Amino acid sequence: MEMSNKKTSPFLSFLFISAIFIQCFPYVSSIGVNYGTLGNNLPPPSQVAQFLKDKTIIDKIKIFDVNPDILRAFANTGISVTVTVPNGEIPKLLDIGYAKSYVEANIKPFYPQTKIDVIAIGNEILHWETPEVQNKLVPAMRTFYQALTQSGINTIKVSTPHSLGILLSSNPPSMARFRPGWDVGILAPMLQFLRETKGPFMVNPYPYFAYNPQQVDFLLFKQNKGVFDRFSKKMYTNMFDMLLDSVFMSMKRLGYGDVEIIAAETGWPSLGESFEPQCTVENAASYNGGLLRKYVSGAGTPLMPHRKIETYIFGLFNENTKPGSAAERNFGLFRPDFTPVYNIGIMKGEPLPLPLPPKPLPQPALPQPQPALPQPRGARHPGKPHVPRPGKPAPKLPAQPIPKPVLGNKFCMPKPEATDAQLQANIDWICTNQGVDCRPVQAGGLCFNPNTVRSHAAFVMNSYYQTKGRNDFNCDFSGSAVIVFADPSYGTCKYLS
């Protein structure tokens, strides 16, 4: 037989090797999932537990409360459970007596029959709670851990999940650091506690919130040119790794690079509104499939090679009563009847799918009179005490001209469905203690007119986003904001970019 002299492309070689790997190891590992319950058509916890145990490779769940029905249902399944103590309990947990009673009522009745591995004290406290609650977080974690040990429980870890709003910057990862004030004031004592108790540092990395059509392959684990960090000399082929390495370097700067990291939430919705074009079944399957392949490989990240990062996909089910855009209700791997929304190798005996090849980006001529679609970033998630994040087109502010696209710039705007109450709360929060100059929207300021809550909120929300690092997680505001690419400046009112 005649031999060909043609060289095989690196991508085809990768597909070939991947196919061999997949056939040999159809489901070599497992992965965690966030089990939210904001739906009126969801199956009972007992059926969920049996389904996960019998039909899937999921061996870890994370819930957003201490739901006794769920804890009871997962008894003797071998599936690990992370539970969440609500944010509002934090001030009370400083009292060791109250902490012990909380453990007696909510943990001991189910443990060890239910394999509770981690107790999360609140959720994204530093990003959304008041300084008063933030300053009580680490003492509450210590007191709760003490309550556990005094109750005879010494195998459960205590931690708390963080949004990536804790980062001052994340690009390049080698130069990342935590926000000043939080770094040595809260995060260093927390990391010291986690080191002492061998607990994990939990973060919620969402490449979804950084959606940009020009970087879609980089976000979705597809073949791409990569991003080179010129300081560490590391090449990144996906944003998930970049975000985790940014967290790692920030921890390392404080002297805690040895503390375990858990990716407590990450995912991609399969359906969204017309202004959420990134929310498709294909994109969700590509992201979560790539995530699963990465987790199974144990490859780690460029700065943490071969370090297996425990990962929890958001989420288990599509939840039909979640507020916000359609994307919020379609983060699930499964429909309520247990049918998969798409195949990523989660079912037992099901091979991991091969990575999807990149799609060529459309290249419309700039002069075409095609309005630029807004690029929303997200919507928030399940039954957790939470606030801010992004998702819809730029609102048309009264008495303003139509915004003009400005290539390369991004702006943070209120969603059209955001209420005046939400937007006023955003203004109050930003202008009170966040170091943002709000004088332009005050009487006599260049952006005072039109004198509406929405107009003022648009200016100050964008100012916050721009001055805090232009990270996509800085444009959230409890799901009341969205990233757009059209400059909303008008007249004498110039928006930062």
pLDDT digits (tens, 9 = 90+) for 53-101: 999 999 999 999 999 999 999 999 999 999 999 999 999 999 999 999 9
Q: Pick from 441, 382, 373, 430: which is nearest to 405 by CA?
A: 373
Tell me the average pLDDT of the chain.
84
Q: What is the pLDDT of residue 83?
A: 98
Chosen domain end from 334, 355, 383: 334
Q: What is the pLDDT of residue 315?
A: 96
Phi, psi of 6 (to 5 degrees): -70, 140
Q: What is the pLDDT of residue 11?
A: 45
Residues annotated as catalytic are 124, 265
Chosen domain end from 315, 334, 353: 334
- Write out the residue range of the structural domain in which residue 415 sits: 411-484
- Kind and range of the H or E run holding 228: strand 227-229
The answer on 431 and 324 residing in a single domain is: no
pLDDT in tens, 169-217: 888 999 999 999 999 999 999 999 999 999 999 999 999 988 888 899 9
Tokens representing 122 are: 């609140």
Q: What is the pLDDT of residue 426?
A: 87
**348 found inside a domain:** no
The answer on 425 and 321 residing in a single domain is: no
Give the C-alpha distances (Å, rounded to integers) separating 250 from 125, 135, 171, 231, 417.
18, 20, 12, 15, 36
**11 found inside a domain:** no
Give the C-alpha distances (Å, rounded to integers) separating 118 from 63, 86, 156.
11, 14, 5
Q: What is the pLDDT of residue 170?
A: 86
Q: How many domains does the chain have?
A: 2
Q: What is the pLDDT of residue 479?
A: 80
Chosen domain end from 272, 305, 334: 334
The answer on 67 and 181 residing in a single domain is: yes
The answer on 463 and 330 residing in a single domain is: no
The answer on 192 and 51 residing in a single domain is: yes
Low-confidence ranges of the chain (pLDDT < 50): 1-28, 361-407
Q: Pick from 165, 183, 149, 167: which is nearest to 389 by CA?
A: 165
Phi, psi of 262 (to 5 degrees): -120, 130
Q: Pick from 111, 103, 200, 114: which is nearest to 160 by CA?
A: 200
Residue located via tokens 């309005």: 371
Q: What is the pLDDT of residue 307?
A: 92
pTM comes to 0.71
